[in-house]
Amino acid sequence: MSDDQNIFVPSHPLPPGRTGALTSFDAGTRTLKAGFQIAPQFAAIPVDIVLEKDVAVQLRDGVTIHVDIFRPAGAEKVPVIVAWSPYGKGQGTSMSVMGVFGLVGLSNGIVSGLEKFEGPDPAYWCAQGYAICNPDIRGVVDSDGNSVVWDRQEGRDCYDLIEWLAEQAWCSGKVGMSGTSYLAVAQWFTAAEQPPHLAAINPWEGVSDVYRDLVLRGGMPDTGFAGMLQNGSFFGKNQKEDILAEAERYPLMTELWENKIPDFAKITVPAYVVASYSNTLHTAGTFRAWRRMASTDKWMRVHNSQEWPDYYDEANREDLRRFFGHFLKEENNGWELTPRVRYSVLDLEGGDRVNLTADTFPPADVTLTRYYLNGRSRALTTEAPLDQASATYNVAATANAVSFITRFAEETVLVGYPKVHLWVEAQGSDDMDLFVLVQKLDAFGTPLQAFTVPNQSAMAHDLTDHGATILRYKGSDGRLRASARHLDATLATDDVPAHSFDRTEKLTPGEIVELQIDLLPIGLAFHPGEQLRFVISARNLLGTMMPGIAEYVGANAGQHIIHTGGEHASYLQLPVQGA
């Protein structure tokens, strides 16, 4: 176990901005009548709902957590859907949650306010014959114990809750899980514990490796969002895990970080996974979990927007109801005929194609195609340049980047996993933090981008000119610290490099080293005359995922030299459909 590596600090009570109408501890059972509204800006509930509030549940180690259960009134036994996260179970009406809806441009009126942040809405699901369980997990709000961040401990805790729920008099014995972000991550960990009564999961975008996705992506200590999560989401009366201190103390892969990767081989439960190309925190992790989980009954849908509008969209909710109906209610609704993969191809000019079908991701008609970098012409070509050349930038210069461009003569669609294979050299430093980006340009060379949310206001432009990548998509990015370049032979594949992060291999003067960088999965169309620009830089090209987060600055000095051609034929590998 990694318990001796975990670092804890005192927690604090929920601040007012995170407090909702149902936050106060008030154990007991009551019935909310059809038409009930928790507050004027939220939707009324369509049916009578029984609310069992602040029910105590004891976990295997004696820790007591508290849960709220919303279930349809009546004697019929129903399945239950669990929304596992540190976000307070009564937080749905808080200023913070309403502020997030405002940020992305959603009306609070599309939900009842009874839901957990990023979780299923009891108003809808109870009307469809399901119960919803909103727990305050270990160490959160009034629950006992010390809270942890995305950990196998959470899987064991949720196992205990699921088995407790299955025994309740009102429960049919079938339990599911649903939700986005943190609520998705918890599902990987829980499913890997294989609770007997967990019948189906619905992870809707979430990291699946805390080291590689959250705190040390590419081996770089970029902890801005981790700090926001740790300090802005975990509130309670005891202690909470200090993942920032852990990242500083343990910058290499250790047992602590291994414990924050689910055992994908043990995830065998039916799963409906939802992903996107555009969430720089969640994209890699969602696709990784989809690839590696052992479930034979697994479906994936890759959408073209942002997870919150997508999750609460009426048609998508109905789609999810068919999945849960099949596995939690044993309805003969034809769900098993649903294509295993439904994916999007982004256009960035208003012509996105969605719900394209395939048996796998990438689709079977995709060919991995190498586009070689030419340091002299700055072109990308499918033939490797015979002559060696280099492209160099000063880390401290304003243009601390080099780019390479290709123009497509015919319709070209990329679907799958891009990667880059580079030969690089550092002058004036023994290491390099490299950031890379695949960007679409129109026929005139103008970079193309697209908002992923309904909010396209002046403020949204201000926030997303640099950073706030969840709100605006600018291309597929990747990053790697050169000293972390060692590949993990058990995890790396030809299309998705994976690094071991268990050693530091510094550069020596004049040494040219070979490295591979994975970029986020892509679905992108290029029309005749449009161009692809590939950028290599010493700076974070996209900025932060959310507004207001401290931005990581690459640990760089001197010059970066990118070698191309001849025996150092650097290339960008792209998944070209129909090639």
Given CA atoms 440, 443, 447, 452 in this order, what sign does their dihedral have?
Answer: negative
**One domain for residues 473 and 519:** yes
Residue 26 placed within a domain: yes
**One domain for residues 286 and 434:** no
**One domain for residues 519 and 392:** yes
**One domain for residues 123 and 272:** yes
Q: What is the CATH number of the domain that holds 425?
A: 2.60.120.260
Return the HEC string of 335-402. Answer: HHHCCCEEEEEECCCCCCEEEEEECCCCCCCEEEEEEEECCCCCEEECCCCCCCEEEEEECCCCCCEE
**One domain for residues 50 and 139:** yes
**One domain for residues 469 and 414:** yes
Residue 361 placed within a domain: no
pLDDT one-digit tens code per residue, 404-416: 999 999 999 999 9
**One domain for residues 316 and 387:** no
Q: For residue 2, what pLDDT is reported?
A: 56
Residue 361: name the closest of 293, 299, 316, 310 by CA.
299
Q: Is the pLDDT of residue 63 over 90?
A: yes
Residue 170 placed within a domain: yes
Q: For residue 426, what pLDDT is reported?
A: 98
3-state secondary structure of 131: strand
Q: Is the pLDDT of residue 520 over 70?
A: yes
238-255 average pLDDT score: 97
- 405 and 372 in contact (C-beta within 8 Å)? no
Alpha-carbon distance 486 to 488, whole Å?
A: 7
255-280 average pLDDT score: 97
| Greater model confidence, 399 or 568 | 568
DSSP states of 14-33? PPGGG--TT-S---EEEEEP
Residue 345 placed within a domain: no
**One domain for residues 127 and 188:** yes
**One domain for residues 406 and 273:** no
- 331 and 130 in contact (C-beta within 8 Å)? no
Q: What percent of the chain has pLDDT over 70?
A: 99
Q: Which domain holds residue 473?
A: 366-577
pLDDT one-digit tens code per residue, 134-187: 999 999 999 999 999 999 999 999 999 999 999 999 999 999 999 999 999 999
Threshold 0.85, pTM exceeds? yes
**Predicted confidence band of residue 4 (pLDDT cuts 50, 70, 90):** confident
Residue 331 placed within a domain: yes
Q: What is the CATH number of the domain that holds 94?
A: 3.40.50.1820
Alpha-carbon distance 20 to 81, whole Å?
A: 21
3-state secondary structure of 451: strand
**One domain for residues 396 and 473:** yes
| 548: region left, alpha or beta (phi > 0 left; psi from -120 to 50 alpha) | left
Q: What stretches of 265-330 adopt beta strand conformation (E)?
A: 271-276, 298-303
* Buried/exposed code over 146-185 (b: 16+ C-beta within 10 A; e: otherwise): bbbbbbbbbbbbbbbbbebbbebebbbebbbbbbbbbbbb
**One domain for residues 150 and 245:** yes
Q: Is the pLDDT of residue 417 over 70?
A: yes
Residue 350 placed within a domain: no
Q: For residue 117, what pLDDT is reported?
A: 97
Q: For residue 398, what pLDDT is reported?
A: 86
Q: Indicate the number of domains in the chain.
A: 2
Residue 379's beta-bridge partner residues?
Answer: 405
**Predicted confidence band of residue 1 (pLDDT cuts 50, 70, 90):** very low
Alpha-carbon distance 301 to 343, whole Å?
A: 6
Residue 389's beta-bridge partner residues?
Answer: 564
What amino acid occupies position 363?
A: P
| Greater model confidence, 547 or 35 | 35
Q: For residue 425, what pLDDT is reported?
A: 98
As a whole number, the mean pLDDT across the chain is 97
**One domain for residues 180 and 271:** yes
pLDDT one-digit tens code per residue, 68-126: 999 999 999 999 999 999 999 999 999 999 999 999 999 999 999 999 999 999 999 99
Name the helix (H) or strand (E) containing 311.
helix 307-312
Residue 183 placed within a domain: yes
**Predicted confidence band of residue 307 (pLDDT cuts 50, 70, 90):** very high
Domain end residue (candidates: 322, 338, 354): 338
C-alpha distance across the termini of the chain, in Å: 48
Q: For residue 28, what pLDDT is reported?
A: 98
Is the N-terminal amide bond of 362 cis, ω within 30° of 0? yes
Residue 397 placed within a domain: yes
Question: Helix 283-292 crosses helix 182-193 at what angle (to 10 degrees)?
Answer: 20
Alpha-carbon distance 529 to 306, whole Å?
A: 29
